[in-house]
Amino acid sequence: RRVHGGNSLEYSRMSTSLMISPKVSFRVDGDVAIVTIENAPVNALHADVYKGLQASIARIESDPAIAACVLTGKGSAFIAGADIKAFGEMFTYPEETVYKNSLQLNESFDPIEEGKKPWVAALNGTTLGGGLEFAMMCSHRVSVPTTVLGLPELQLGLIPGLGGTQRLPRLIGVQNAVRAMLESSNIKAEQALKWGLVDKIVPPTELLATAISLARDIAQGKVPRQYNLQRSDRLENSMIAKQVINVASGMATKKSPHMPQPHACLRAIGAGVSTSGKEGRKTEAAEFAKCAKHPVSSALIHIFLAQRACAKVDGVSHLKPRELKTVAVIGGGLMGSGIATALVSSGFRVFLKEINQQFLDAGVSRVSANLESRVKKGALTPEKKQAILNLLVPVLTYDQFKEVDIVIEAVIEKVELKQSVFVDLEKATRPDCILATNTSTINIDIVSDKISSKNRVIGAHFFSPAHIMPLLEIVVSKHTDPQVTADLLALAGKIKKTAVVVGNCPGFAVNRTFFPYTMAAGVLVDRGVDPYEIDRVIKAFGMPMGPFRLGDLVGIDVLLFTSGQYHEHFGDRTYKSNLIQSITEKNGLGEKSGKGFYLYDESRKQKNDPSLASFLTEYRKKNGLPAEPLKLSDKEIAEIIFFPVINEATRIIDEGFVQKSSDLDIASVFGMGFPAHLGGPIHYADHLTAKYVHDRLVHYHNLFGLPLFKPSSFLATRAKDGIPLAAPKRSDAFTPSDDDIVIVSGARTAIGRAKKGGFNATPIDDLLAVVIAKALADASPIKAEEIGDVVVGTVLGSMAATQARTGMLLAGMPNTVPVRTVNRQCSSGLQAIVDVAAAIKAGLYDVGIACGAESMSMNPMMPKEFKPNSNVLKKPDVATSYLPMGITSENVASRFGVSREVQDKFAVESHRRAAAAIKAGKLNHIVPVTTKMQNGDQLQEVTVTMDEGVREETTFEGLNKLKPAFKPDGTTTAGNASQTSDGAAAVVVTTRRKAKQLGLKPLATLRSYYVAGCDPAIMGIGPAVAIPGAVQRAGLTLDDIKVYEINEAFASQATYCVEKLGLGYERVNPNGGAIAIGHPLGMTGCRMTVDIIHELKRTGGGNGVVSMCIGTGMGAAAVFHVEA
């Protein structure tokens, strides 16, 4: 028997796995411990992983029967780096604290390398970042052939922080290590073996056995143990090492002048090489801390997380994409051929259509040339190129378009032509075929104006060159079917594009954001500033090129056309310069004509035009512009160019054309080359502060007298209130109305354990009497006789209607007040609130009481006399409505891959949160109930003050021992399912107008309610289908919700819903849920409402969602708002 953390844990020498922490399991094979990281999906490092590893170290070091250890990961990853979100809090600490924490964390893992027992890493897959650092702490590394290793921290503005800068050079040499870290390159297993980074490569089936055998051999002295932080046999001599570092530093300065992390990494490497690994680790910790506090790290981490958040689109992400196999591209020009290249390169069969053979041949040649460039770079073999090219089907007609799943139109920007193409496509394609337009400026409703099936039309705006640029701007109109959006998002992922979903407005998101970019540059030239000087400043700022070089690249004629579009649609704030028109009049169209703002040779290499200065002097004179050039610093030039861009971005956010400000940052970085080290225009503005950007725009507005620089109302408000531009546009911009339905008081009992708890002999009318009396007392001066109706949500018991009446009367209410019950199974308590709200809205009365109550001790779940309908049983899809709820949990788990371990971890967390909430006094609003409890043959008086099902001592190992409750081979147990329980809750509901009249301050406003159906066989997914509807009906997004209360009927369904909607566990059930608290069916919805009101009130107000699944296949959700 071993004791750890106060819990008794038993294991044999061939033990089954037990969870030593929520993310780490531990077992023993003879004399070798096997520690497995189990943090799905990629085993990212997290506080629980660190704790589990530290606990494992302590156990291994203290157990004389353990000779060695193997460290591995579960699934297809060893450890794929750190949980970046989890790092966020750490980076808020002072630099000195980050330094100390980093060093202490390193030292806590020293026993892996220096302890009494050797460790071997069994690399079962992806081994990146901290994963590789842990592997290098081990004496040896055994790998499967598919493993990829690397230290990519520099991509996030950081450096390796767990000894990576010290151990990697000692294992593969300084030169190889410097290249690997500075380039954030992936090292394949074969290369790692050649370098000595791994010691053996074996098939996956042999990995663990090989690692165990090697660990034993090391422990027995048959294989020398390696101490990688101390070794120096693979280091170059100090002179060569120093030279390598100096050369790399110079290259980093040239390649990435804005990035501090390459130099920090090199300093850490250099310190270790010149002293020792342990001394170098101190420098590493210091440099890591500096990087962690640097704005570049904040910006790059923001980009990393924002890119992954792009795919989460309200109203879309819950949909399953259809499989698209065949694509048609209309137009084989530069854009069309680039799109076709991207598609065939990703395995799609593509019809490329043109209007004649000459154009078609040219399009095919362009696709071939695009692929040939990859052959020349060694990225493709000639054979692979031909195989890809074989997927391209050149056509001149629409004859084969019935085979097509999606069409992408890429003809020239002429409205009539595009409309004509779409008319043809509607006739030529199947009704379920997606019709996408690649227009960069034209409203897609105009493009689809001539067809009837507008619901399948969507914008697919690629950026040139389409096969290279990483962004796809997906433009949805008011007609676009969300399924079409989901399908195109999935397609984007398959062709390796980052997709941003935006609304339908002129220029969409990217081009609209940047239209002030060239206009502000025109302002400067018109005021005498040299275009070449502007381009120099903007390139130094971090853009790939300045506005005038960009204009030449795009084409001066294209600039002229698009500026006309912006003058037409945004004429109240555009700047009309004659500069572009004047350049075209001197036959300057940019690169394609050999002349624009620059001169170009046959290879399109640029040089300054010596005649431009005299041309501009004449131009300014002709247009009556100031002859004296404006004197501006580089900083002022950059502000004049970019602050109007930020200003326009705030309008796009304010008008709702992007769901998240981070989408605009991603679109700007990936589509326009905005410097990633600044994090995108919104992130950059927030670094400067909204007030600074606003005040400088006011300054430039006064300087130039142009509306281009007038701050938007959104920017002005955020600047005044000190709110970051990126802060969600909470429809917390909540405007109260006298007609709002509000809750003015609420009460609930504790939840008692059915049969075994304090309420096991208490009828629901007694419980109802307590909460009705308390809620009414707290709603004073409302009088009992003013109540228009009492609605009680309850599920079980043939006498429920009678008990609802007697409970109301026991509360002291007059018999003139009516009462009724409502049964919508698990949502009954919430349905009662909504029914009262609906009656008040309809003018039936002004004030009502809604309740939820259940005694599962005194009423059976399923009456014995119930006989299934034989007609129902004949139809399998209907008969699933009879399935026991536990079986539906098993169906959710198996269908969506929710493992037993995930369910048990969720259950433990529910108990932990509930116990913490009780300790912190967060549930002090529970009304104590003194009653009689059945104890054997005796009734004894008890006072129930707190939820009885909460077990702080619940452990993973304890839950692991429980047998499946519904299927012999199932995963749902009594421990990861909600508890049968007893209890009651009540709220007083009225209008804001009535509350004002009575001098009552509303506790919460009911903003929306939504019920949706789902497959009865997996009824637990109900919240996943109901929550988006309720949130959308309230005019909000999922990100606007501060707290989610999702009923934990089963851990399988609760986990699925949280993951499916991407809610993040930190916002869901912060004080635990039904698995710990209990689930008295009819009470639950009302209980959750009372609890979420108190939680939101305690944390400063905001929006909250209450949601639950409903037996027979439904989900219900309501949105409440609590004012601060």
Active site residues: 133, 153
Kind and range of the H or E element at 807? helix 800-810
Give CA–CA dist 957/965, Å, rounded.
17
Give CA–CA dist 1106/892, Å, rounded.
21
Instruction: Assess contact for 989 and 848: CB atoms under 8 A.
Output: yes
Distances (CA, A) of 750 to 954, 1042, 1080, 1090, 1104: 20, 25, 11, 12, 22
Give CA–CA dist 724/687, Å, rounded.
9
Instruction: Assess contact for 536 and 641: CB atoms under 8 A.
Output: no
Instruction: Assess contact for 371 and 388: CB atoms under 8 A.
Output: yes
Give CA–CA dist 1056/1072, Å, rounded.
17
Which residues are paired to 1006 by β-bridges?
A: 1120
Q: Which of 53, 264, 278 is nearest to 170 (CA)?
A: 278
Give CA–CA dist 846/1008, Å, rounded.
19
**Cβ-proximal residues to 483 (8 Å cutoff; 6+ apart), any chain:** 319, 322
Kind and range of the H or E element at 171? helix 164-172
Three-state SS at 985: strand
* Exposure string over 133-151, b if 16+ CB within 10 A, otherwise e: bbbbbbbbbbbbeebbbbb
Give the pairing of strands 24-29 and 32-37.
Answer: antiparallel
CA atoms in the 13 A half-sphere facing the CB of 135: 35
335 is written with which tokens? 């854009």
**Cβ-proximal residues to 897 (8 Å cutoff; 6+ apart), any chain:** none
Phi (first) and psi of residue 5, to 5 degrees: 60, 25
Q: Which of 284, 258, 289 is nearest to 270 (CA)?
A: 284
Three-state SS at 467: coil
* Region at 75 (left for phi over 0; alpha for psi -120 to 50; beta for the rest): left
Q: What is the largest CA-CA distance in the chain?
A: 107
Kind and range of the H or E element at 343? helix 334-345
78 is written with which tokens? 């060893």
**Cβ-proximal residues to 933 (8 Å cutoff; 6+ apart), any chain:** 757, 758, 759, 760, 761, 939, 940, 941, 942
Instruction: Assess contact for 830 and 1082: CB atoms under 8 A.
Output: no
Q: Which of 825, 702, 818 is nearest to 1116 (CA)?
A: 825
Give CA–CA dist 1105/1109, Å, rounded.
13
Q: Which of 723, 694, 725, 721 is nearest to 710 (CA)?
A: 694
Give CA–CA dist 949/198, Å, rounded.
50
767 is written with which tokens? 């419980």
Three-state SS at 228: coil
Instruction: Assess contact for 768 and 759: CB atoms under 8 A.
Output: no
Instruction: State the DSSP string of 437-459.
Output: E--SSS-HHHHTTT-S-GGGEEE
Q: Within 10 Å of residue 825's Cβ, how many Cβ atoms? A: 20
Give CA–CA dist 688/436, Å, rounded.
39
On the 0-12 / 13-18 / 19+ scale of CB atoms within 10 A, 276 is middle
